[in-house]
Structure 1
Amino acid sequence: MSYRFLNSALLTLLLSFGVGAGTGSAQAAEAPSIAQLMQRAAQAWAAEDHAGWTEALEALHRQRPWNHDFMRQLVIGYALTDQTAKAFSMMLTMQQQGLAENWDEIEAVESLRSYPLYEYLRDLMREAGQPFGEVRTAAMVERKWPMPEAIAQDPETGRVFVGTVRDGLVLVRAPGAAGFEVFADPERVAGLQAVFALHVDAERGHLWAATGGASQYRNYRISDYGRTALIQLDLGSGAKLGEFRVLPDGVPHLLGAITQAADGTVYAADSLAPIVYRLVPGAERPEAWIAQPTFTGLRGIALSADERRLYVSDYELGLYFFELGEEARTFRLGAPETLNLGGIDGLYRWRNSLVVIQNGITPERVLRLDLSEDGTVVEQIAAIAVAQPEFDIPTWGTLAGDDLLFFGASHWQHVDSRGRVTAPPLADVPILRSPVDRAENVVVGSEMIERIKHGDAAKDGKQD
């Protein structure tokens, strides 16, 4: 299995060699901004001031504890400044979080290679990048439909809907059909632009689309930037039933992920501003319902089964939830240190678990996070799909019973800021299907303990 953790017994042995796991939590003390720290790090690196570079990276890591790049660079910084114990501690933290890295390709960590512990952490982190999980291709979005970004399924008919950024299309594919066809487009649906999220309301016969001005949209105008809306379509015909625009306030907005309560209330995350919008039945426009200034970039959104909590993913800061009531209160979702919460795009609720799609770390992966009974803490972590060969920045998905349908790849990294292909041709985008209920968490490390017991593993000192 590629998604592996060292167990507690092995951790105890490693700690006896002076190597401890990192905390994985941000410190609340005031600190310079990310931009200032990045500039400080760049200046130190250019001046070959490795100590200053490492100090700047430590500050960046405190503010962005899940950032894979900062963690990798800290290992390098510690190696370059002869802080060997800290280097191995960070490597151990990364390994515990299931991150993959090929340290043999990084010349700057040469000083670590004479330690036996290096080999074992290196091997585990290399193995973490191997494919794992039960995945099959359910459909393909052909390259003629560039930049698919939104996906939803009608549970009653089995139809799959896909929204595109480049052309602002809503596509549909019926079960057994050869491919997708156009269901709605900007010519027939006024106000439809780049489509970033879809949601099926089968009970009421509606398809909701989150749309807005994005520079990658083919018919983009500068005046469209920051304008966004929820569009309500007839689930059968694709006819427009309503348009609910976010009121302009001088701040750019772009509605993304959508979820819906039983009473028909729609919640949408703003990917440009740290706001969750709410559209109650009968309202004329979405209202800014929750604002959290510390958020860096909202992505996924999901309601708990009892609708008492609303979960959101922040791409840099991880998972949070709001206790719903007259005044929504914000809490960080409790999680074990072995869970890296960075780079989460898609977020979905399955039973009393959250399903997340992570593309901001290596390996890219899909996880099931089993929650405590009160839904406030992650108690178990299960890998659904990891490092699949089809993966090329997996983004969004939708639950189909006990399965997750999700885009295995994206076109974002293959186009420029205006949506033009940088290295044609684009590839078709696979829609993958993975069972959520069969995901398992396997704790591995016992074989390493046996090797340590027999004197074959890490020891306090270098190899001869």
Structure 2
Amino acid sequence: MLPAHHSLHFRVHTRVLLTLLVALFVVTALALAEPAHRRLVREATEAAKANDLATATAKLEQAARLAPDYPRVHFNLARLYAAQQRPADALRSLRTLADMGLVFAIEQDPAFASLKDSPEFATLAAAFATNRRPIAPAGADEAAWAITDVTGIIESVATHPVTLENFFGDVRHRCIWYRDTSGPSGVLRKFSADTDGLDGVFALKFSADGRTLWATTSALPQMAGFTEADKGRAALVAYDYPTRRLRARYPLPADGNEHVLGDFALAPDGAVYVTDSTTPAIWRLAPGGDALEKWAAYPWFVSLQGATLSTDGRYLYVADYANGIWRIDPATKEAVLLKAPTGSTLFGIDGLYAVPGALIAVQNGVNPQRILRIALDGRGEATGVRVLAQGHAALKDAALGQILNRHFHFVADSGWELFGQPSAAPAPRNVTILSVPTE
């Protein structure tokens, strides 16, 4: 689960019209059954390259009908409409984005210069500014604490359900840390051993009985000591909590493909469902199994991220960064894309966690980054979206977390942006853990 600004995710920055369209929608490799909205976006790019703005607009209008909560489609439609002197349509597209609670600096974008004299444009600029406001739990701020002297990328936090001991996955230093509170102040110490041979550590989760700490580990350039020969190496690992030793390792096959195992879901029957962002696919470790098996690899998957079982075990929900959220029946493997409730977007979601009647989501692929509560009905459909937290000073690089005691505890500033160059050596810093009620 790399953050939105990383290459495995799809957030980009805007510039001029043609540059934006080309940069945002270039597709380097197409699946045999490419999702229709992505095909239309690709075709819009080709039309824009040929300066055929009418065709580009028509293609994106079709894409918007198929994926109505795809923010970048609406933003680029607004720019195309403005370029073709269609101010009412441009303003309507911008209103769609404002209603999603997103932020775009439209007053600074030269593509919208022709709209600036419109009262509606001023209203929209004010709405986007309002969308920046901090949101915290009713009547209280988010509880926050920090781990100190961090020089790596803290992608996850897991707390033992009984001892309340805290553990952290570090992509950069290829290890699992724990917070030693035996002294006057908490300090990070290594839980995993260097001889365990971990790559970058992504998700961490405890088994229901608290005896096993599960983790995903994957090789990528941001980890220390990376070489090209490491590409594609990834595994699910299990640590015995009482002995604090590596118990088992379940590597992916060396198939020549790139893999990043970003998250996983622990099923009540002992199965483990693991998301692979780059293949993309879902792998499964059967109860008592000794190897990961490719369980689902559909051509409409794009960038799989967080995974969670509904609290009744009926559905597996999987976040797809450039699609939304898949609801998958574990018995049949049928995958259905959730429809985003009106005025919301389910794009750009990383971590995903189940609570009774809802999902808690880390949405770090939009501006502003935020924590969502997605209400579900009895059929497992999304019926409403509410922002639990956004705008906290530390919430700038949100990563993974854990539900504990009806609160969601998560890494607020993981540090990916500090490692744009793999050789970077940033100064020690504090990493904030935020906690918000799930209701």
Normalising by structure 1, report the TM-score.
0.79
Provide the residue aligned with 2:430 in structure 1: 428
- Tell me, yes or no, if structure 1 residue 391 matches structure 2 residue 395: yes
Q: Which letter does structure 1 place at the counterpart of 2:189? A: V
Distance in 1, matches of 2:182 and 2:360, equals 27
CA distance 1:287–1:417, change in 2 (3 Å) = farther
Percent identity (aligned): 29
Counterpart of 2:10 in structure 1 is none
1:218-239 Cα shifts (integer Å, max 9, x gaps): 1223222111111111113421
Counterpart of 1:136 (choices 142, 148, 163) is: 142
Change (3 A) 1:349 1:203: same
Q: Hey, what does 1:187 align to over in structure 2?
A: 194
Q: Which moved more, 1:398-407 or 1:32-41?
A: 32-41
Residue identity matched to 1:382: R
Aligned with 1:212 (options 210, 213, 218): 218
Q: Which residue of 2 aligns with 1:238?
A: 244
Partner of 1:159: 165
- Compared CA separation, residues 137 and 121, structure 1 to 2 (3 A): same
Following superposition, the deviation at residue 429 of structure 1 comes to: 1.9
Contact 1:414–1:426 (Cα < 8 Å) also in 2: no
Q: Counterparts of 1:196 and 1:398 in 2: how far apart (Å)?
A: 13
SS of the residue 1:294 aligns to: coil
Q: How many matched pairs?
A: 402
- Is the contact made by 1:158 and 1:175 (CA closer than 8 Å) also made in structure 2? no
Please, which of 330, 339, 342 is the counterpart of residue 334 of structure 1?
A: 339
1:328 corresponds to which letter in structure 2?
A: K
Distance 1:168 1:79, change over 3 A: same
Match of 1:77 in 2: 80
Distance 1:366 1:357 in 2: 5
d(CA) in 2 for partners of 1:380, 1:63: 19
8 A Cα contact 1:229 1:255, kept in partner? yes
Aligned CA distance change for structure 1 residues 273 and 112 (closer, same or farther; 3 Å): same
Q: State yes or no: 1:110 paired with 2:113.
A: yes
Distance in 2 separating the partners of 1:86 and 1:351: 40
After TM superposition, the structure 1 stretch with the greater mean CA deviation from structure 2, 388-397 or 298-307, is 388-397
* Aligned residue type for 2:366: I
Return the alpha-carbon distance in structure 1 between the equivalents of residues 315 and 416 of structure 2: 31
Contact kept, 8 Å, 2:216 with 2:235, in 1: the verdict is: yes
Q: 1:61·1:70 contact (CA, 8 Å) conserved in 2?
A: yes
TM-aligned CA distance change 1:306 to 1:54, over 3 Å: same
* Letter in structure 2 aligned against 1:433: S
User: Aligned-pair distance for 1:117?
Assistant: 2.2
Partner of 2:267: 261
CA-CA distance at 1:355 after TM superposition: 0.5
| Alignment partner, residue 343 of structure 1 | 348
Is the 1:37–1:59 Cα contact (8 Å) retained in structure 2?
A: no
Q: 2:438 & 2:423 partners in 1: Cα distance?
A: 33
CA distance in 1, matches of 2:361, 2:249: 29
In structure 1, C-alpha distance between the alignment counterparts of 2:36 and 2:250, rounded to whole Å: 40
TM score, norm. by length of structure 2: 0.84
Matched ranges for 1:30-429 at <5 A: 32=39, 37-38=44-45, 41=48, 43=49, 54=57, 66-134=69-137, 135-173=141-179, 178-189=185-196, 191-203=197-209, 205-325=211-331, 327-375=332-380, 377-418=381-422, 420-421=424-425, 424-425=426-427, 427-429=429-431
Q: Deviations over 1:83-131 (max 9, x none)?
A: 1121121012112211122322223323223333223222222101111
The answer as to whether partners of 2:265 and 2:307 remain within 8 angstroms in 1 is: yes
1:207 alignment partner, SS class: strand
Largest Rg, 1 or 2: 1
Q: Distance in 2 between matches of 1:180 and 1:34?
A: 48
Specify the code of the residue in structure 2 equivalent to 1:331. Answer: V
SS in 2 for 1:133: coil
Instruction: Give the superposition deviation at 1:426.
Output: 6.1
The residue number in structure 2 matching 1:457 is none
User: Structure 1: where are the runs of 5+ without partners?
Assistant: 1-26, 438-464
Deviations 1:230-271 (A, max 9, x none): 111111342111111112223222211121112221111111
Amino acid of the structure 1 residue aligned with 2:188: E
Per-residue deviation, residues 164-191 of structure 1 (Å, max 9, x unmatched)? 01111111126787334224335242x3
How far apart, in 1, do the equivalents of 2:55 and 2:354 lie? Answer: 43
Mapping 1:433-452, distance limit 5 Å: 433-437=435-439
Q: CA 1:181–1:427 in structure 2 vs 1: closer, same or farther (change >3 Å)?
A: closer
Measure the CA separation in 2 of the matches of 1:31 and 1:388: 33
Q: 2:309 corresponds to which letter in structure 1?
A: L
Whole-angstrom distance in 2 between the partners of 1:124 and 1:348:
30
- Asked whether the 8 Å contact 1:234–1:240 carries over to 2, the reply is yes
Query: Counterparts of 2:304 and 2:284 in 1: how far apart (Å)?
Result: 15
Q: Secondary structure at the match of 1:173?
A: strand
Q: Secondary structure at the match of 2:88?
A: helix
CA-based RMSD: 2.6
State how far apart, in whole Å, the 1-side matches of 2:265 and 2:357 are.
Answer: 16
Task: Please state whether the residue corresponding to 2:96 is helix, strand or coil.
Answer: helix
